[in-house]
Amino acid sequence: MTPLTSLFCQPQHLPSVPEVVRELMDSFNEPDPDLLNIANQISRDPVITARLLGLANAARFGGGRVITSVREACIRLGLGTVRNLVLACGLTQSVSAVPGIHLGHYWHQVFTVAELAKRLARQGGGNGDLAFTTGLLHALGQLVLHLALPAAALQTLQQETVRSGDVAAQRHLLGYDYALVGAELAQRWKLPAHLVEAIRDHLQPLATQPANQEACIVHLALWLSSLTDALPDDPVENWPAPVAIQCGVSWPDLATVWQLYHLDGHGLASLLNGG
C-alpha cells in the first residue's frame, strides 16, 4: 500500500500551474479583488492572455466589437468568469502527459462537470462561479495518482478499476481515493479551506456535517454528467435526492439543467474544449 503523503515526495512530477494562476488563486480570499491588478497579472502570461482574448471574442460573449486587451476582456466577461477561465487554462497547461489517462477525455469530463455544477448552483440560488471552480479542481487527485504511483502499483490499480470502478479500487488497494489526494494537492497549493473541503468531500458530501455546499453541487453534477439520455418526468431509482435537497434543487430542476446544457452548446465547457 502506498501512503498518501508519499505521492508528493517528487513534486516536480506533479501538476503545477503558472505563477499568474497561483497569484490569481490568492484573489479567491479577497472580498473585493482589484480588477485592474488581476488584468495586469494575466497580461504577463502570453499563452493565457491569447486564450482569454479568444474566449472573450467567442460568439457566446461577443458584443460586436473585437476585444484586444485583457482589461477589456475582464470587463466584458466579469471577474468570476475570467478567474475560472484563467484557472482552466492554467490547469490544462499543468501536465502534458499522464500514464493511463487520455487528457482530452479527462479535461472534457472536468469541464462538463464544472459547467453543470455552475448551472446547478445557480438553479438552487447558490454561487455559480464558486461551483465552477470546484468542478474544475475536483478530479486533480486522479492525475496525481497516475503520475506518482509506482508503475506496478498503477498497473494493479488499473486492473482492479476495470473490475470494480475507480473509487472502489482506490479505496481497496490504497486505503484512500482520488478526492483525498486532490484535497491534499489543493492544500499544498494553499487554496482556501472551503475549496479543499469541497474537493475532499464531493464523493460523499453528506458524510461531513455541516455539509459543504460546493461538494454537494459537484456530487450532483458528476451524477448528471454520467447520464446519456434526458431525465424522465418521474425521478429514477437511486438518484441522489438527499444531496439535491441540500442544494435546494428538485428533480425538475435537474431535468431543466440537463436539457439546457445539451441544447445551448455546453456553455463554457465547449469553449474550453475548443468547441
Give one DSSP letter per residue of the chain, joined into a string: ---GGGGGS-GGGS----HHHHHHHHGGG-SS--HHHHHHHHHT-HHHHHHHHHHHTSTTT--SSPP-SHHHHHHHH-HHHHHHHHHHHHHHTS-S-BTTB-HHHHHHHHHHHHHHHHHHHHHTTS-HHHHHHHHHHTTHHHHHHHHHS-HHHHHHHHHHHHHH-HHHHHHHHHSS-HHHHHHHHHHHTT--HHHHHHHHHTTSTTSSSSPPHHHHHHHHHHHHHT--SPPPSSPPTT--HHHHHHHT--HHHHHHHHHHHHHTTTTHHHHHTT-
**For residue 229, pLDDT beyond 50:** yes
The model's confidence at residue 272, banded by pLDDT at 50, 70 and 90, is low
Which is more confident, 45 or 226? 226
The overall average pLDDT reported for the chain is 87
- Residue 271: the pLDDT is 57
Backbone angles phi, psi at 100, to 5 degrees: 80, 5
Confidence class for position 35, pLDDT limits 50, 70, 90: confident
User: Which amino acid does the sequence have at 216?
Assistant: C
CB atoms within 10 A of CB 187: 15
Highest mean pLDDT among 26-35, 104-113, 216-225, 227-236: 216-225
Residues of the chain with CATH 1.10.3210.10: 1-10+100-275
Looking at domain 1-10+100-275, its CATH architecture is Orthogonal Bundle (1.10)
- Kindly give the interhelix angle for 213-225 and 103-123, rounded to the nearest 10 degrees: 120
Q: Tell me 202's DSSP state.
A: T
The pTM (predicted TM-score) of the whole model is 0.88
Bigger pLDDT: 17 or 39? 39
Least confident of 50-59, 103-112, 223-232: 50-59
Which parts of the chain are beta strand (E)? Answer: none
CB 170 within 8 A of CB 156: no
